[in-house]
Each structure stands twice: as C-alpha cells, then as structure tokens.
Amino acid sequence: MAIIQGSLFSWQEVFTGSDLNRLSLIIKTIPDEKLMKFLEGLRGKGRNDYPIRAVWNSILAGIVYEHRSVESLRRELLRNGQLRDMCGYDPILGAKAVPSSRAYNHFLTLLLKHRSYIEKMFDILVEQIKEALPDYGKYLGIDSKALNSHGRASKNKHRDGRRDTDADWGVKRYEGKRDDGSLWDKLVKWFGYKVHLIVDTKYELPVNYKVTKASKNDSVMLKPMVEDMAKKHLELIERGEELSGDRGYDSKENNELLWKRYGIKPLLDIRDMWKDNEQTKPLYPERADNITYDYKGQLYCHCMESSQVKEMAYMGFEKERESLKYRCPAKAYGIGCKSIGYCGNSEYGRIVRVPLELDRRIFTPIARSSYAWAKKY
C-alpha cells in the first residue's frame, strides 16, 4: 500500500481564510512558550496591566495585518473587539485593555534585547519544516531586501529615541532589458537595514536570515550564512544540491566554498570584470592554440583555415576530474570545418577538459553556457 506523505499545511487554508484565521494559525503554530515564560519571569510580581502574551500576540497581529507602525496597530485594536479577543486582552475592559504607545515601545525594546529567543524560534520552525518536507533545502537561493528605518538619519550618534544610530545608507542597482531590446537600470537608495535571506526556492520558505546595516555588501554574507546553516541545520546543508543568487554574490570564494566544502553547486550570476573590452581569452595562453573562452565560460573553436568561430559542444561535468568536458563542434553537430584534420582523426573530434581550478568564478560544476544553467537559474 502506498504511503501518502502528509502536507505541512494547506495553502488554500491560508489564502482563503480571513485575517483572524491566519492570525490564529500563527498563534497556534509559533513555538513561543520559552519566550513567554522568560518575559513573564522578568516581570515577576510587578504590575500586569498589559499581559505579556496578549501584547506578544498583538505584535504578531500587526505583522499579519501589515501595520507599518505601533499607532496603526493600536487604532485597529481599539476598534476591533474580535482582534482584541484573539490576542487575549480582557474583554471586560474593552478598548481600555489596549496598551499605550509607550508600553508597546517598551515591549519592542525588550524583544530586541532578548532577540536570541526569537532566533531560536525560527530555528525550531526550520527543523519542523525539515521533518515535514524531505526535500526542503535541496534547492536554495540567496538574496537581500531593503528594510527602511523609521528613524532619522543623523551624524549625531547620541541615542535620543528619534535617531536610528544603528542604521546607515544603502544603494542597490537593478538592471534589465526592455521588450525592444534596450537596456534599463534603476538606482535605489534607502536609510535603514538589509535582511539577507537563504530560502528554499521550491517551497519559497526561509532557511536562514541575517539583518545588517544597509551598506553591508551582499557577497560577503554568503559565507557566514551558509556556515551558520551548517552549524545549526547540518542535515539541510547535506541535502543542498544547488544555490542560486544574483551577480551581487559573484566571487571565486563563494563558488569554492559552496562546491568544495559543502558539495552544493553554485548558480551565482557573474559580472563582466574583464578589462579593455576583451571578448575572449585563449584557454592555453602558454602555447599556440585555437580554443578560447568568454567571461561566462563558453568555449569557442577558431577554424585555422577560414577563421570561423563556433561554440564548442558542452558534454557535461566530470566530477572525478573536477572538469567541464567540451567536444569539437564539427563532429558533435555534423557541420563542415576546413581545418578538422588539424584536430586529429578521432570520430569524436577534439576533446577539451576545463578544470574548475582554472577560474572558479567563471567555471562552475553546472556550466554557465549550458542549457541546464539557463533552465535552473
């Protein structure tokens, strides 16, 4: 008899349910008991005008309802009795049960001070998802997102409640191509932070995150985040087969870390860093040869008779040799070549193997010039 794998949850239940239903799902699911007991312990026998659990649940409600400020959340609580009941506020007190802005700010400051409890909650949820979804973590992606600060930018680093002294300015450039073939680019600046995310690209669920100042370079964040995953969730790292990212993560070190240490195939877009508008470079510069490559790793064969240039046929990655294998395009595709005799008499034509070690930015286990790369990235 076939065993039917249980699903983690029904997306239909999430998308079609009301905001109250979604909030109820979160309150029931999130592993916050240790945090609640810790905060209640800090309060001790002091005043309990605003119960810890009710305030915490209302913070979660602010996220579900997408409130951008404490005052926006308070207005919703003041008018919405059902929401107050869901959060756990005393129904007898009615709107008077809603905490003041000062009380909320104090609570949020307390959460930030003890955010290790929240980070632990995230890790517990990751472990629960890992158990429920056997292929969770197999296909990974990394990216960053701007987080605007509600504080003011100032050179004065004195904390006065109005200035955000931890934030700074970030800049990100977006590029693309229009339908008519013309290129566009857009420069975005913001004052605040960045959240760096590693996610499962199949399920669109997070696996790891870090929050930094807005100016933090994306590229340098891949290594500590992957190493942190290996420390906290080793099984997920062992499941990982591929990790994709935009050119902001392009570096030899990142490609080497992913493949050599963890066996994860990097799918990191590459920047053209060649100087003087170079189009190709010789594969074997130490000798006279007719094989070249471009900055994306595509190999070319230059006909020594006609000077025609043809892309070499990619034949796959040889893991044992840590090399990409290419074949004579004339033999592979059955096309004419006047200088085919120079390449030997083999029925397969000339075979070229490119070791990844030649340039790990350009040459990766999934060749950038291959159909597999185009399909996966």
What percentage of the chain reaches a pLDDT higher than 90? 69
Q: What is the dihedral of CA 97, 102, 103, 108, to 10 degrees?
A: 130
Claim to verify: residue 131 and residue 58 sit in the same structural domain: no
- Under the banding of pLDDT at 50, 70 and 90, the label for residue 159 is low
Task: Classify residue 5: in a domain, yes or no.
Answer: no
Average pLDDT over residues 102-129: 95
Say which residues have a Cβ less than 8 Å from residue 136's Cβ, sequence separation at least 6.
129, 130, 200, 202, 203, 205, 207, 236, 239
Q: How many domains does the chain have?
A: 3
Task: Classify residue 6: in a domain, yes or no.
Answer: no
Claim to verify: residue 134 and residue 243 sit in the same structural domain: yes
Domain end among 268, 297, 317:
268
Average pLDDT over residues 171-186: 82
Task: Classify residue 104: in a domain, yes or no.
Answer: yes
Conformation bin of residue 52: beta by default, left when phi > 0, alpha when psi is -120 to 50: alpha
pLDDT in tens, 8-26: 555 555 555 578 888 999 9
Task: Classify residue 3: in a domain, yes or no.
Answer: no
pLDDT at 345 over 80: no
Please report the pLDDT score of residue 1 as a whole number. Answer: 39
Nearest to 207 by CA among 198, 215, 216: 198
Claim to verify: residue 143 and residue 174 sit in the same structural domain: yes
What percentage of the chain reaches a pLDDT higher than 70? 93
pLDDT in tens, 63-86: 999 998 999 999 999 999 999 999
Claim to verify: residue 133 and residue 258 sit in the same structural domain: yes
Task: Classify residue 1: in a domain, yes or no.
Answer: no
Please report the pLDDT score of residue 28 as a whole number. Answer: 93
Claim to verify: residue 150 and residue 260 sit in the same structural domain: yes
Average pLDDT, rounded, for the chain:
89
Domain interval for residue 217: 119-155+162-268
Average pLDDT over residues 105-119: 94
Claim to verify: residue 61 and residue 101 sit in the same structural domain: yes
Claim to verify: residue 261 and residue 346 sit in the same structural domain: no
Please report the pLDDT score of residue 6 as a whole number. Answer: 46
Claim to verify: residue 128 and residue 246 sit in the same structural domain: yes
Domain end among 268, 300, 332:
268
pLDDT in tens, 212-251: 999 999 999 999 999 999 999 999 999 999 999 999 999 9
pLDDT at 142 over 60: yes
Where residue 223 sits, what CATH number does that domain have? Answer: 3.30.420
Nearest to 356 by CA among 319, 306, 322, 327: 322
Query: What predicted TM-score, i.e. pTM, was given to this entire model?
Result: 0.86
Task: Classify residue 173: in a domain, yes or no.
Answer: yes
**Locus of tokens 């472990």:** 127
Say which residues have a Cβ less than 8 Å from residue 94's Cβ, sequence separation at least 6.
81, 84
Contact 125, 30 (CB under 8 A): yes
What is the greatest pairwise CA distance in the chain? 94
Task: Classify residue 293: in a domain, yes or no.
Answer: yes
H/E run at residue 87: helix 81-87
Average pLDDT over residues 182-204: 92
Claim to verify: residue 241 and residue 263 sit in the same structural domain: yes
pLDDT in tens, 254-287: 999 999 999 999 999 999 888 878 899 999 989 8
Claim to verify: residue 216 and residue 131 sit in the same structural domain: yes
CA distances from 288 to 118, 282, 304, 330, 352 (A): 61, 9, 11, 21, 15
Claim to verify: residue 141 and residue 263 sit in the same structural domain: yes
Of 151-155, 186-190, 365-369, 370-374, the least confident: 151-155
Claim to verify: residue 301 and residue 323 sit in the same structural domain: yes
- Tokens of residue 366, six digits: 């999934």
Task: Classify residue 377: in a domain, yes or no.
Answer: no
- Tokens of residue 22, six digits: 């979604």
